Structure 1
Amino acid sequence: MKNFKLSITLGVLWTMISALACEAQNITAELQQKVVTSIGQQMKDRYVFPKVADQMANYLEKQLQAKAYQKANTPLMFASLLTRDLQKISKDKHIRVRFNPRMAKQLASGAPRKPNPDLIRQRKAQEKSRNYGFTKVEILSGNIGYVDLRGFHNPKDGAKTVESVMGFLANTEGVIFDVRRNGGGRPDMVQLICSYFFGPKPVHLNSLYWRKGDRTQEFWTLKEVKGQRMPEKPLYVLTSGNTFSAAEEFSYNLQNLKRATLIGETTGGGANPGGRFPIQNQFMVFIPTGRAINPITKTNWEGVGVVPHIKVPSSQALDKAHLDLLTKLKAKGKVSPGVDWALVGLEAKLHPKVVSQKVLKSYAGDFTNRKIIFQNNQLYYQRPGLSKQLKKMIPMGSEVFAIDGHPDFRIKFKKGSNGQIEALEGMYSSGRRDLSKRGSIKSR
């Protein structure tokens, strides 16, 4: 354990030292020329689209002759400019140049990396601590399953977690997968998760064409998975501009197979897989050596992203998907307890009612064990005896408000015979009600 902790500490220190060294090191015109020439050749030899590779190589040379890199007096700045120019021509967001002499020399040596037991344990511990990408799994109002998935990890290690998640979702009326913060990962984990939403007959999800060997690798849903499949369960996927790579494949697969409804923003647009290659023993360049080919569209999402069925700001995607799913379930007669309550709350959150500032101000004050605060033209709710945190109040009408983050609770203001606010009523989805009269906060 001591050696394990020491390896982590040394790794952090090495990263810090390397970053400082990058800033301090100057880069000569001679080295710039060699780097540009080397990257151009690597692109011609390996990039999945040979014609585009020639264009990138020619453009870098043109930029070099035009002294576009003259002010790049550090390796980090030079790498950033090269990345910018390569992506400008290719529109390929996977292409990236990095300054890392240690790794570049190791790659250039051609020697296979020796497995480091401490680093392997560290990587496995990190993946496990991140629950193999499954950040949150819960049941939303109306018996809707929600999964916040932040990455597609190794299915050999994460298969049991996937099985547990799918078991948790099995009795829900529908499922929402959130990949708004998912930057990608492994296509075989995409394959495994997708398999749970189709029957046992294999379905062609995606193919990867590799320039080397002129070969195509196909990915189909698996004939066998552990746990329960959900081929008929309504499925939604939430996307954003940060959804990238394998997370885009997941979305694109399900969209084109008409298996899921996508809601949110157009994704980042990175479809082409590849690897890192050394440049002059100091830099590395990630070169896409393959490309995704969808069996239905015969193309992919590179440079354009995956366009969702329903476009909304990513911050509204979950509420929109939840509302859309519950509305369709209710239309089909599949009504779970609390559906009407949830529908009204979601509609109010997406389309808040307009209440005048005068009325809002009249609600502010102390109510026995609750506090209403008017701040920045907005009402906030607080339970002083429990927390100092302020919760945004969402108007559902002139007198009724939802509380952000508390979908099962609402507040209704009560007027006295004199027309003044004299109490507020706490309303719960279970049907329970309680009353808090206007007056000083009573200590518990």
Structure 2
Amino acid sequence: MKKINLLLMHVLLWLSIAFSQASELNRANLNDTLFKQNIEKAIKNIILILEKEYIYPEKALLVKAELKRKLANKEFDKVSDWYSFIRSLSVILRDISGDMYLDIVEPHPSLTLEKVKRKSALNLKDSYIIRNVDLLSGNVGYIKVNYFYQTSNAKKEIFRALKELSMVDALIIDLRDTEGDSIPLAQYLMSFFIKESTILSEVLYDQQKKKKRLRALETSGNDKFKHNFPIYILTSSYLSSSGEFFSYTLQHLKKAFIVGENTMGIAHVLQNKKINNHISLTIPIAIHLHPATHSNWEKTGVIPDLDIAANLSVDAAHKMAKQYLGIF
């Protein structure tokens, strides 16, 4: 029940963000006149994108049929402004597909809603990928990951941090507040702990007709990290996207012990597709599958090995690491 309530909270948060953005858009340019040809063209473009890009082709067909039915029955004739059109389309897309990620939003080709919301809060002081590196008692290393954003110095920061901790006997990786959705950067970080060329994930795309394998990279890091080395990953209920990819992958490759809370459960790769100058379509275009489980963390989240409140996870992981090392 706790997990269901938490998931519902996240869905409502997502919806509130979407509608607040639509409201901002309304003040900006939704006073433009909405003509019948605007509606017909927008629906045609949405259908084309769904048929070409949507990861679930069978759902695309259902949405296409419903949009065409409503158009033929002139149900959109009742819609008189862009804001109402956005709201009407969003309801149709979600109701027919059952997909909470499928949405109509403000045009922004390169960023998802969540990324727009969080990116705006960044400033020069906290823009580093690694927020904190520390040495805890018992020679246990601690590293706090700030963001999974692909910046010019991102890989250098990770390399320097792990080099600084190269002499530790155990490692705690704190992802509780980690933001961002750079899969390549998560792939790079986990490659320090996995033998080169090991399959990390299979990404299904092109409506599940194609598959790309993500493998561990060559990192020139400390080789001892790749063997029987104790790693503890801290999670929270707000961890999503790349942070979940990192945690789930290492957990199921039996390379890390997860301490903390169930994560959000977002395994889809989302992209924004511009429909016209007024609206854009947020659409899942790919999804991860783990080579060992042949599944992912969608909806269930990454399930911790030790379920404990996020604010207690540092002490819990530190204690476990020292016990593993025989330090009491």
Q: Given the two structures, how large is their TM-score scaled by the length of structure 1? A: 0.56
Deviation of 1:250 after TM superposition, in Å, equals 0.4
Residue from 27, 42, 45 that aligns with 2:49: 42
> Judging changes above 3 Å, is the alpha-carbon distance between structure 1 residues 271 and 25 closer, same or farther for their aligned structure 2 residues?
same
Residue from 172, 179, 183 that aligns with 2:175: 179
User: Quick check: 246-255 or 78-87, which moved more?
Assistant: 78-87
Contact 2:207 2:285 in 1 (8 A): yes
Residue from 197, 213, 224 that aligns with 1:202: 197
> Judging changes above 3 Å, is the alpha-carbon distance between structure 1 residues 59 and 182 closer, same or farther for their aligned structure 2 residues?
farther
Alpha-carbon displacement from aligned partner over 1:34-84 (angstroms, at most 9, x marks no partner):
545543442222101101222344566789989899799663x76466556
Q: Does 1:95 align with 2:102?
A: yes
Q: How many residues align?
A: 293
Contact 2:54 2:207 in 1 (8 A): no
How far, CA to CA, are the matches of 1:81 and 1:263 in structure 2? 42
SS at match of 1:273: strand
SS at match of 2:204: strand
Q: Percent identity?
A: 24
Residue from 239, 247, 250 that aligns with 1:243: 239
Q: Does 1:21 align with 2:27?
A: yes
Deviation of 1:152 after TM superposition, in Å, equals 1.4
Contact 1:40 1:58 in 2 (8 A): no
SS at match of 2:311: helix
How far, CA to CA, are the matches of 2:267 and 2:103 in structure 1? 14
Which amino acid letter does the alignment assign opposite residue 286 of structure 1? Answer: T
SS at match of 1:307: coil
Contact 2:268 2:287 in 1 (8 A): yes
CA root-mean-square deviation: 3.7
How far, CA to CA, are the matches of 1:263 and 1:72 in structure 2? 52
> Judging changes above 3 Å, is the alpha-carbon distance between structure 1 residues 225 and 90 closer, same or farther for their aligned structure 2 residues?
farther
Residue from 268, 274, 281 that aligns with 1:278: 274
TM alignment of 1:198-237, pairs within 5 A: 198-199=194-195, 201-211=196-206, 214-226=209-221, 230-231=225-226, 232-237=228-233
Contact 1:184 1:248 in 2 (8 A): no
Q: Does 1:308 align with 2:315?
A: no
Alpha-carbon displacement from aligned partner over 1:139-193 (angstroms, at most 9, x marks no partner):
2343322222132122753121111110122222321212222233222111111
Higher RCO, 1 vs 2 (CA within 8 Å, ≥6 residues apart): 2
> Judging changes above 3 Å, is the alpha-carbon distance between structure 1 residues 41 and 68 closer, same or farther for their aligned structure 2 residues?
same
How far, CA to CA, are the matches of 2:319 and 2:267 in structure 1? 31
Match of 1:190 in 2: 186
SS at match of 1:270: coil
Contact 2:130 2:144 in 1 (8 A): yes
TM alignment of 1:21-100, pairs within 5 A: 21-22=27-28, 25=31, 28=34, 30=36, 35-36=42-43, 38-58=45-65, 75=83, 79=86, 82-83=89-90, 86-87=93-94, 90=97, 92=99, 94-100=101-107
Contact 1:272 1:292 in 2 (8 A): yes
Contact 1:270 1:302 in 2 (8 A): yes
* Higher-Rg member (1/2): 1
Alpha-carbon displacement from aligned partner over 1:290-327 (angstroms, at most 9, x marks no partner):
22121111122223322222222333333332233333
TM alignment of 1:41-440, pairs within 5 A: 41-58=48-65, 75=83, 79=86, 82-83=89-90, 86-87=93-94, 90=97, 92=99, 94-100=101-107, 103=108, 129-154=125-150, 157-199=153-195, 201-211=196-206, 214-226=209-221, 230-231=225-226, 232-329=228-325, 333=326, 335=327, 340=328
> Judging changes above 3 Å, is the alpha-carbon distance between structure 1 residues 306 and 276 closer, same or farther for their aligned structure 2 residues?
same
User: Quick check: 299-308 or 236-245, which moved more?
Assistant: 299-308
Q: Given the two structures, how large is their TM-score scaled by the length of structure 2? A: 0.73
Which amino acid letter does the alignment assign opposite residue 269 of structure 1? Answer: G
Higher share in helix: 2
How far, CA to CA, are the matches of 1:72 and 1:263 in structure 2? 52
Higher share in strand: 1
How far, CA to CA, are the matches of 2:172 and 2:91 in structure 1? 35
Contact 2:179 2:240 in 1 (8 A): yes
How far, CA to CA, are the matches of 1:24 and 1:285 in structure 2? 16
User: Quick check: 238-247 or 302-311, which moved more?
Assistant: 302-311
Match of 1:423 in 2: none
Structure 2 portions without partners, runs of 5+:
1-20, 111-118
Contact 2:29 2:278 in 1 (8 A): no
Match of 2:9 in 1: none
